[in-house]
Amino acid sequence: MLTAGLGLASALLIVAQALLVAALLGALVTDGSVPGPTAVRTLGALAGVAAGRGLVAWAQERFAQRAAARTIAELRSQVVAHVVALGPRWAPGAEAPGTGGAQAATLATRGLDALEPYLVKYLPSLLLTALVTPAVLLVLGVLDWVSLVIALVTLPLVPLFMWLVGVMTQGTSQRRLVVVQRLGAQVLDLLAGLPTLRAFGREIGPGARVRALGEASKKATMGTLRMAFLSSMVLELITTLSVAVVAVGVGLRLVHGTMGLTAGLAVIMLAPEVYLPLRAVGAQFHASTDGLAAASAAFEILQTPVPAAAAAAAGGAVRALVLDDVSVHAGDRAVSAPAGLSARIPLGSGTPGGGRVVVLRGPSGAGKSTTVDLLLGLLRPDAGSVRLELADGRSVPCSARTGAAWWWAQVAWVPQRPAIAPGPLRDVVGGAGTDPGLLADAARTTGLDTVVATLPHGWDTRIGLGGVGLSVGQRQRVALTSALLAGSDRPVVVLDEPTAHLDAAGEQVVLDTVRTWRDAGRTVIVVAHRTSLLALADQVVDVAARSHADVPVLAVTA
Amino acid sequence: MTARDPLRTVLPLLEVPRWRTVRAVLLGSLALGCSVGLAAVSAWLIARASQMPPVLTLSVAVVTVRATGVGRGIFRYLERLASHDVALGGMAALRANLYDALARGPVTGVVGLRRGDLLARVGADVDDVGDVVVRSIVPAGVAVVVGFGAVGLVAAFLPSAALALLGCLLLTGVVAPWLAARAAATTEARGARARAEVTARTLGILDEGQQLRVSGRLDAELAALADADARLTDAGNEGARTAGVSAAIGAVAQTVSVIAALWLGMGALAAGTLAEVELTVVVLTPLAVFEVTSVLPAAAVQWRRSREAAARLVELLPGGVPAAPAALGPATARRVPGLSLLTLTDVAAGWPSVPVPAVVGVDLTLRPGSVVALTGPSGIGKTTLLMTAAGLLPARGGMAHADADALFLAEDGHVFDTTVLENLRVARGDVTPDDARTALDAVGLTTWLDALPDGLDTTLGGNATTVSGGERRRLLVARGLLSGARVLLVDEPAEHLDAAAADAVVAALAAHARSTGGAVVVATHRLAAARDADEVLLLGAEPAGGPAVVKARGTHADLLRDVVGYAWAEGQEAAVPPAPAR
């Protein structure tokens, strides 16, 4: 609203400027001189116009961006929340077919910024076309009806060609996007693999490939630009040529004496203003396609149906987890992992001595981590069912659809690849304001204290996204400590390969921790490769994959 | 003044021929020259026409007006194509040069980068540097040519008005862009942290979203993201104030130059030094000229942004002359049995960025057929030592000398977004499908291979997450077996594998070394994997926290007998056989 008002004010000031200049100049050229007071009055009015234009331009710049920034922030937060709600297969690392985790990450971080020029420039210029163009035409008509006719004939050609621009670039701009994205992914893949390539001494060859990919992308882009620019050239041609035609027409009528000089000057100054808003729309057209592409990508994600959380579907303590003939397709492989898994996992009593340790066992690739996702209700099985048996005897399906928050509130979870939020180590592990005593205790249990001792700033060391600055084993300890602290009021602990990156002595610490949890009455569900954990197991669930040809996949067990 | 302008460092990497940029500037100047010409000539035409001369005297002007009307569109089209051609070619060249620089520079610069950071740099930053051509250099060149051209035109009629016009042009062409750039700087200074935080938090939530959901921290994290975004908006708001002043100058200057032309023209007209028709040209030309400076504030902002991006790219570039990775002539292998393949003499190993080496005083000689295990707690420096032995890191002390090509197989080696076969061909370009199958069989991946839809031609997903951790490890080991390197330095080959598969992989590596007369060093914290080794090196930090040393060495059996902790730890791993479900 403010934008429109400012735009209209700016246009009116330009009209006033044209009329004032034309009046003074016309009189000067026709009569050779103008009475002093008139000249001073006109120049004074022009100075007023200058001040007004300055003020309007300032206000436009000052306020336009703010609204756009808010809109983008709002959309970003919605997209992020929605992607998380869509489940583990949408995480940026997971490239299972049919999901767009990585694209969602690009969109939420960088892609949505394309909306800014769309909101700040394209939409206002569209609005101005509707407001300013008729106003200027009106003034033009009063001054010289012939010029008005020329403008009225040529104006519709502009949207016509813009429509052509749209039709011609719609497909190509999307193709270009695909090409550019593919190039980006390939170049990035090569760069991400550079350490590996260097180790093999094969880093030189792909350099030529990066160059070739770049050349290919340049060719593709130039091809579409040639077409896109051709359309906008026609646009520019029509508008500039129309102004020239108006000028020549005015000149010829002046020669014949059918028109006054003042009106003629005003007309040639105003003629470009008639086309200006439309040209601005044309100039921002690419911003609009990029913006619309970003917006539609965002809405596509937002419209992907999320398992809607039915409010307070169930609650209370869980007595057992029941897997009944559960299968999940493993990405693009012709394999189900797990396949036909059935098990009843009773949970511990919660009282000291009543705890349980449940080990999920199976060769790598059997679907152990997927089983964890199922038990947490993050993933829905492609066949079979996962149910929670409640203490009051009821049995409810386990999925995010039924609103699993009450179930998650009972679980502490350390996944296979714990992602670590950036920030000071103290906050990352325990959240701000954790009791230092508790922190130290937990760190001693997991061996994180020895890690902290080697860090330059101890607990205040800032670690980057994904735990930059820590080795894989250290990250595991951070995640474990974090789960220990969060787990103090969560009766169920889920550990996915907790010993994978720990040495034998460190492994012992984890074993002790698991034992402590069991002694405290908690249930520990562990994905394990090591035999050492099996010693603690009260129950072992064997997980196996099966190819779709119904041949059991015996992944190296010998 | 202080440091070299990063743009100057990076621009040569765009490999843009100078004449191409000049061509774009000339075409742009012609386009805007047509615009100014249209205004000037039509002003003359109208003023002259009002004096009612014979129509024929106007015909040249009429044709000129029409020609400029057509010319503008055509020249602008050609200019845009020319400048985009320059920019896109430059971006492609820059990406390729970045790759080359990273490929030839020290490996530490590459290893320290995260995927997201890399994405930002080879993506957005390169685009920003390329945009400097289209949005800064060409518009600035055009503004100089056309601006001075217009001033010259006005000066031909009325020098004083030309001076006024020049002043206003400098105001919009220099002061306004300077203010706009300052506004952008303010926004960035305040916004950079906010933006980084928004990106980090966004990726963080997307990455660990499921964990956050389960632990109930998701809402808090989303709120923190919203806060960071609000700070970003505030920063933009701050800069908008200065940017507003810049825009106001642009708008005011145009009208002021017209007022000056009218005022000075009136005097000259009265004094008889200026004709009426000329006055019209002097007054109306400035109206069109300001189009050339109107894009300069944006150009200045772009210049700044490009310079920032260039600075980040310079950071990425290895400093100074690209150093060839430590002397490891692949052809220096002397295949005389009994001679050493790789010798470490009192070697200290550590990352160059860390003041103290992680491991010191390591002596090791690898002979054909040697199988060595390197063990010790995680984080002790096993990986660093292997990388030093491979020549990927410079030795911090002592001497590492390789007589054969040594290959380091990283724990997190990259699985490329291509087929299984091509992934194995990373090791050696001429790997045949049969070679590939043999190697995959050796590491126990035959059943995995048979389950793949297209066998060796199956494309592995981005970052190979459709491959499980264990499969991935074995694929990387298979790649090492195919490489033909005589010394394999393997980091944690048994990770993510169950005991049996882990032992099989280590056994395959040992067998490979013994049958080909090569040597293998396996870093593992799983002691059972050391059983196949001729010699086991146990690393440990003597005063806790200090650099690690070789605490004990010998055969697996020796260490079991002599080192108390070793036997205990080994016992922990093997104690319990797989138990039946209770």
What CATH code is carried by the domain that includes residue B519?
3.40.50.300
Does the residue B328 lie in any domain? no
Alpha carbon of B237: minimum distance to chain A alpha carbons (Å)? 6
Does the residue B517 lie in any domain? yes
∠ at Cα A34 (A29, A38), nearest 5°? Answer: 130
Cβ-defined contact of A261 to B50 (cutoff 8 Å): yes
Cβ-defined contact of A66 to B497 (cutoff 8 Å): no
Cβ-defined contact of B461 to A95 (cutoff 8 Å): yes
CA distance A275 to A236: 10
Q: Does residue B33 surpass a pLDDT of 60?
A: yes
Q: Between B378 and A46, whose confidence is greater?
A: A46
Alpha carbon of B219: minimum distance to chain A alpha carbons (Å)? 9
Cβ-defined contact of B248 to A55 (cutoff 8 Å): yes
Condensed to tens digits (0 to 9), the pLDDT of residues A97-129 reads 344 566 777 788 777 888 888 888 888 888 888
How would you label B301-340 residue by residue, b for 16+ Cβ within 10 Å and e otherwise? bbbbbbbbbbbbbbebbbeeeeeebbebeeeebeeeeeeb
Do B351 and B307 share a structural domain? no
Do B347 and B309 share a structural domain? no
Domain of B177 in residue numbering reads as 10-314
Does the residue B374 lie in any domain? no
Residues 6 or more apart whose CB falls under 8 angstroms from that of A212 comprise none
Residues of chain B contacting residue A275, judged by C-beta atoms under 8 Å apart? none
Q: What is the pLDDT of residue B78?
A: 93
Does the residue B307 lie in any domain? yes
Cβ-defined contact of A58 to B77 (cutoff 8 Å): no
| Residue in chain B lying closest to A55 (CA) | B248
Do B480 and B350 share a structural domain? yes
Do B416 and B305 share a structural domain? no
Do B93 and B193 share a structural domain? yes
Q: What is the pLDDT of residue A391?
A: 80
Cβ-defined contact of A365 to B122 (cutoff 8 Å): no
Do B239 and B157 share a structural domain? yes
3 state SS of A541: strand
Cβ-defined contact of A210 to B99 (cutoff 8 Å): yes
Cβ-defined contact of B265 to A55 (cutoff 8 Å): no
Do B347 and B275 share a structural domain? no
The count of structural domains within chain B is: 2
Do B227 and B355 share a structural domain? no
Do B278 and B244 share a structural domain? yes
Interface with B, mutate which of A119, A120, A255, A335 (most B CBs under 10 A): A255
Alpha carbon of A516: minimum distance to chain B alpha carbons (Å)? 18
CA distance A544 to B197: 42
Residues of chain A contacting residue B498, judged by C-beta atoms under 8 Å apart? 363-364, 529, 557
Do B347 and B310 share a structural domain? no
Interface with B, mutate which of A14, A15, A28, A219 (most B CBs under 10 A): A28
Place B71 in a pLDDT band, splitting at 50, 70 and 90: very high
Q: What is the CATH number of the domain that holds B195?
A: 1.20.1560.10
Does the residue B352 lie in any domain? yes
Q: Strands A523-527 and A356-361, how do they pair?
A: parallel
Condensed to tens digits (0 to 9), the pLDDT of residues B540-571 reads 876 656 788 888 888 888 888 887 777 766 66
Could you list the pLDDT tens digit for every one of the 558 residues in chain A? 677 788 888 888 989 999 999 988 888 888 877 787 888 899 999 999 999 999 998 888 887 777 788 888 888 888 888 888 877 777 665 444 344 566 777 788 777 888 888 888 888 888 888 888 888 999 999 988 889 999 999 888 877 876 776 776 666 666 666 766 676 677 767 766 777 787 777 777 777 877 887 888 788 778 777 877 877 788 888 888 898 999 999 988 888 888 888 898 999 889 888 888 888 887 777 777 778 888 888 888 888 776 554 444 556 778 888 888 888 887 655 677 788 888 888 888 777 778 889 999 887 678 888 888 888 888 888 888 888 888 877 777 776 555 567 788 888 888 766 767 667 888 878 766 677 888 888 888 777 887 787 777 778 887 765 555 676 667 777 877 877 776 556 788 888 765 555 556 667 777 877 887 888 788 889 887 666 778 888 898 888 888 765 544 444 333
Alpha carbon of A280: minimum distance to chain B alpha carbons (Å)? 13
How would you label B468-488 residue by residue, b for 16+ Cβ within 10 Å and e otherwise? bbbbbbbbbbbbbbbbbbbbb
Residues of chain A contacting residue B429, judged by C-beta atoms under 8 Å apart? 202, 205
Q: How many CB pairs under 8 A join A and B?
A: 541
Cβ-defined contact of A333 to B544 (cutoff 8 Å): no
| Residue in chain A lying closest to B84 (CA) | A222
Q: Strands A356-361 and A539-542, how do they pair?
A: parallel
Do B49 and B196 share a structural domain? yes
Q: Is the dihedral of CA A225, A226, A227, A229 positive or negative?
A: positive
Residues of chain A contacting residue B98, judged by C-beta atoms under 8 Å apart? 191
Q: What ipTM does this complex have?
A: 0.74
Whole-structure pTM value: 0.69
Could you tell me the two tokens for B146? Answer: 């056309």
Among the partner-chain residues A53, A81, A547, the one whose CB lies closest to the CB of B252 is: A53
Q: How far apart are the first and last CA of chain B?
A: 76
**Torsion angle defined by CA atoms of residues A31, A35, A38 and A43, in that order, rounded to the nearest 10 degrees:** 80
- DSSP 8-class letter at A487: G
CA distance A272 to B74: 18
CB-CB contact of B539 with B548 (8 Å): yes
Do B392 and B285 share a structural domain? no
Does the residue B174 lie in any domain? yes
Residues 6 or more apart whose CB falls under 8 angstroms from that of B496 comprise A364, A497, A500, A529, B468, B469, B470, B472, B473
Could you tell me the two tokens for B500? Answer: 């049996």
CA distance A127 to A156: 17
3 state SS of A321: strand
Among the partner-chain residues A43, A210, A422, the one whose CB lies closest to the CB of B96 is: A210
Does the residue B533 lie in any domain? yes
Residues of chain B contacting residue A408, judged by C-beta atoms under 8 Å apart? 213-216
Q: What is the pLDDT of residue A378?
A: 82
Does the residue B21 lie in any domain? yes
Q: Between B149 and A532, whose confidence is greater?
A: B149
Residue closest to A200 by CA, chosen among B335, B328, B333, B472: B328
Interface with A, mutate which of B291, B425, B498 (most A CBs under 10 A): B498
